[in-house]
A and B are shown apart, each in its own frame.
Chain A
Amino acid sequence: MTKASFQPQDSEELLPHRIVLNVRSMPSYAYGHRSPIWWGTVAFAAAEGMGFAMAIGVYFYLVFINGNWPLSAPPPDLFWPSLFTVVLLVSAWPNARAKRDGEQENLSATRRNLVIMSLAGIVLLVIRIMEFNGLHVRWDQNAYGSAVWLLLGLHTLHLLTDLGDTVVLTVLMFTRHGHGKRFSDVGDNAFYWYFVVASWLPIYLILYWFPRWW
């Protein structure tokens, strides 16, 4: 037990440096998984995906507890949510363009794509409001109503967040800040939109088709 080597050494200096690598010429940002923000977006999507999974779990738990479903209400209307699904799926195309043109650092195309994506978000939001009107059940009517509003509300929250993000980014790209690393942000924003699309498809089936099949 070498106690001596443990005495605090207040005069001890930091180790001298020996330079073995120069990073001067490394790039200052990059796209996709090379960028920390991309990983942050994935991690947030994972946490939120877990939230969706929990809400879906709640829904099915209630289905199995009750046996009959939906509880004393007709299944919700199909028209608006189906329209929503179609528009959402179509929006994946300009979204892919936004990512690609962003990676090319093509400013005018990126601006156009982002405007399209902002408009798509607004249209979807309007459809979503119609969708809420066709549910035929209130959240405080019974557990079925609560579960439906929970799932639809949760998805709407994500829609709103991404729309807000997209609009701010769009404005940003029209200012003098619209260059460099911001193009990488465009890619991450597009990634998040895919998450909004992907999380919707199971919810669409569960909310609107499952009660008809059960």
Chain B
Amino acid sequence: MTKAITPHELDAVPEVTRLATGERGGVSGARSEADYSPDPKELRDDQVDGPELTARLAKTWGTQKGLIGALSTVDHKVIGRRYIITALFFLFLGGLSAVAMRLQLARPESSLIGPDLYNQLFTMHGTTMMFLFGVPIGEAFAVYLVPLMVGTRNIAFPRLNAFSYYVYLFGGLMIWLAFMLNIGPDVGWFAYVPLSGPEFSPGKRADIWAQMITFTEVAGISVAISVIVTVFKLRAPGMTLDRIPLFVWAELINSFVIIFAMPAVVTASALLLMDRLVGTHIFNPAEGGDALLYQHLFWFFGHPEVYIIFLPATGWVSAIVVTFARRQAFGYIALVLSLIATGFLSFGLWVHHMFTTGLPQLGASFFTASSMLIAIPNGIQIFCWIATLWDGRPVFRTPLLFVIGFFFIFVAGGLSGIMLASVPLDAQVHDTFFVVAHFHYVLIGGNVFPLIGAIYYWFPKFTGRMMNERLGKWHFGLAFIGFNVAFFPMHITGLMGMPRRVYTYLPEMGWGNLNMISTIGAAVFFGSFLLFLYNIVTSARRGPLAGPNPWNAGTLEWASASPPMPQNFDRIPIVTNREPLWAHRDSLPVAAGLSVENREQIVSTVTAGRADLRESTPEPSIWPFLSAVAITILFVGSMFTPWALVWGTPPLALALIGWFWPKAGTEDER
């Protein structure tokens, strides 16, 4: 462990032996090419400086012009930007389908939308929000920001990362295209059997849903792995575990949850596809299968899913709170431990989605208890954030406003959640609008509000320009009011007995007024997003220039230019503090000696973050894109014939070989 540095010597840099391992590359007793001294003709960054260094590195790390160049890029910022924009686009589509539903529900016996279309709408809405927006948006921010925040030049496995983006994009396009061709899924976002099984859902609708899961999970797991390895192995020298930014911790834990939760939903959807397409009987009670098994598999993933959506948001909140409180996080260790505890506990809870299916008494009590247990780490986090703000000198700019909105909405959602965690109450309001209200408070409060704050916060880094503050405040006001007007009344309609997933209701039920209010609120909420969009577009063009660190923040992404150069940093920073830029206000300690002509980055050790290797990272390549195309053909084809697994494999294998085959002339070939 590095010794703690007292506040008086904040920028004291520890001696070299603490920053680097100094070990050979080869195993002991063997002569290894790893230890050959680098080609003396190759230019290194201890030989050039200033604008020339910047320009040369930008050339080495840049993305080629043209379509092929764009599709070959492995720059985490380019891919990350696409990821973010695509996820926001799906948020918009999901929002449109919600508005359509709300218009239909505004009045009793409305004939705007029929039952068929309504089924598709809530399925598309839920599926899009959970799989095409909720999970990817957190990973998208990780792809863009984690490498910058840990002080490296690219994400680990950049080609895998590019591949995952295209797979995600194609999966999302597939399901929306199907919806437009009127073969969109209509079985709810969790597609329970037997409704989604071969008997009750003939046709392709349920297959499309299940295959979309495959796409997004392949993408999700790939990104999670890239993020984990980036955090483990690519941190800047000196970034010990207790100096990792809280946002990065959140994304790291999130990636672990993804790796352990997503295989369950892939299993569920793959088995569903097999039952539907090749006649297996896993979920068929007539032949020894079981329908509840599907629910167990789905919710083993489904509950952690809520935390997959929530964990990155805690990262956004931590980053914003610290910057705008102008002090280090209160209770850093407690915050990290709560993240880890949340990660573990999220797996203990799936059964609470199945309280009404008839569980043994003891089992139900156990799961009620553990559902309530998870309130503890969440409570600790909220306490630490508030303490940080309390003790700091908070500056109420738009990002912080959205964080404060998050506090209120999320806590309200947590309260109705604790109500639901008790079995008797859940039995009453199960499948009513009370539940719809609850999970929108949790999801929108816990993810969308912090997300908007995060966009206001990092927009200057992404684009080099500030967003308009006045519009931001208006945006916040409209969003906060619109949201509550839309969703608070749903608690009451739910308690009055209005079931979810019904396309209309009778006037005698007396739900009309509340539903009208909800719809008006939803319209206001949607309007706030249009204002947001306007702010984004105009600010990206004409906003005031931001400079590298407009908020005076402490983490490393603000040590790069805005927007960052392809190489992120001209030299890799050395970290001596949790908020490196607050510790070093006049000059940045850095490591030199990396190649200027080849894509080299520092590989460090997992816990102490000591520099260990200077490894080269992959060049741009078109093969990840082609592999994504090949796998799309295979996945889509297999919905129509199992033989697609046979004829679809050779092209995929070919593309993968192209991907992994070394190209002549790159660094590790010389």
Contacts and interface: CB of A to CB of B under 8 A. Distances in A.
B660 A55 contact: no
Contacts of B31: 105
B547 A168 contact: no
Contacts of A62: 282, 288-290, 293
Interface string B6-23: 000000010010011001
Interface in A11-41: 11-31, 33-36, 39-40
Contact of A54 (B297, B545, B605, B667): B297
Interface stretch (B329-337, B359-367, B607-615): B607-615
Given A14-B548, A105-B30, A150 B282 contact: yes
A180 B32 CA distance: 8
A108 interface: no
B202 interface: no
Contact of A29 (B289, B290, B615): B615
Contact of B549 (A12, A36, A39, A54): A12
Contacts of A26: 20, 593, 602, 611-614
A8 B668 contact: no
Interface string B472-516: 000000000000000000000000000000000000000000000
Contacts, number: 283
B280 A10 contact: no
Interface stretch (A111-119, A122-130, A141-149, A191-199): A141-149
B284 interface: yes
Given A9-B550, A105-B30, A142 B288 contact: yes
B571 A17 contact: yes
Interface in B580-600: 581, 584, 586-594
A191 B281 CA distance: 35
Interface stretch (A43-51, A78-86, A90-98, A200-208): A43-51
Contacts of B603: 34-36
Nearest to B16: A21
Interface stretch (B82-90, B231-239, B437-445): B231-239
B171 to A, nearest CB: 18
Given A28-B25, A139-B280, A23 B591 contact: yes
A139 B278 CA distance: 8
Nearest to A177: B662
Nearest to A165: B660
Interface string A40-83: 10011011101101110010011001100001000000000000
Nearest to B24: A27
A122 to B, nearest CB: 16
B267 A36 contact: no
B288 A71 contact: yes
A61 B27 CA distance: 46
Given A19-B590, A29-B34, A24 B668 contact: no
A21 B668 contact: no
Given A19-B591, A181-B668, A105 B26 contact: yes
Interface in B542-580: 544-552, 559-561, 570-572, 574
Contacts of A22: 46, 591-593
A168 B560 CA distance: 40
B397 interface: yes
A22 B669 CA distance: 23
Given A27-B24, A66-B288, A105-B26, A164 B653 contact: yes
B288 A143 contact: yes
A34 B23 CA distance: 11
A30 B492 CA distance: 62
Contacts of B234: 36
B596 to A, nearest CB: 12
A2 B588 contact: no
A143 B668 CA distance: 51
Given A28-B615, A36-B234, A147-B282, A142 B287 contact: yes
A146 B274 contact: yes
B548 A28 contact: no
B281 A54 contact: no
A20 B229 contact: no
B631 interface: no
Contacts of B37: 25
Contact of B35 (A18, A27, A141): A27
Interface hub of A3, A39, A62 (most chain B Cβ within 10 A): A39
B657 interface: yes
A142 B34 contact: no
Contacts of A145: 280-281
Interface in A129-155: 139-147, 149-150
B460 interface: yes
A36 B571 contact: no
A11 B545 CA distance: 9
Given A43-B228, A105-B33, A180-B668, A24 B27 contact: no
Interface in B204-236: 221, 224-226, 228-229, 232-234
9 contacts: A11-B547, A12-B549, A20-B591, A27-B23, A29-B34, A50-B259, A62-B289, A143-B289, A150-B282
Interface of B: 13, 16, 19-20, 23-27, 30-38, 44, 46, 49, 156-157, 160, 221, 224-226, 228-229, 232-234, 237, 259-260, 262-264, 266-267, 271, 274-275, 278-282, 284, 287-290, 293, 296-297, 300, 393-397, 460, 466, 544-552, 559-561, 570-572, 574, 581, 584, 586-594, 602-603, 605-606, 611-616, 653, 657, 660-662, 667-669
Given A8-B466, A21-B592, A150-B280, 12 more contacts: A12-B549, A19-B589, A22-B46, A24-B592, A31-B26, A34-B605, A47-B263, A50-B263, A58-B297, A142-B281, A146-B274, A168-B657
User: 10 smallest A-B Cβ distances: which pairs?
Assistant: A27-B25, A24-B593, A10-B545, A143-B288, A12-B547, A146-B280, A140-B279, A143-B289, A50-B263, A27-B34
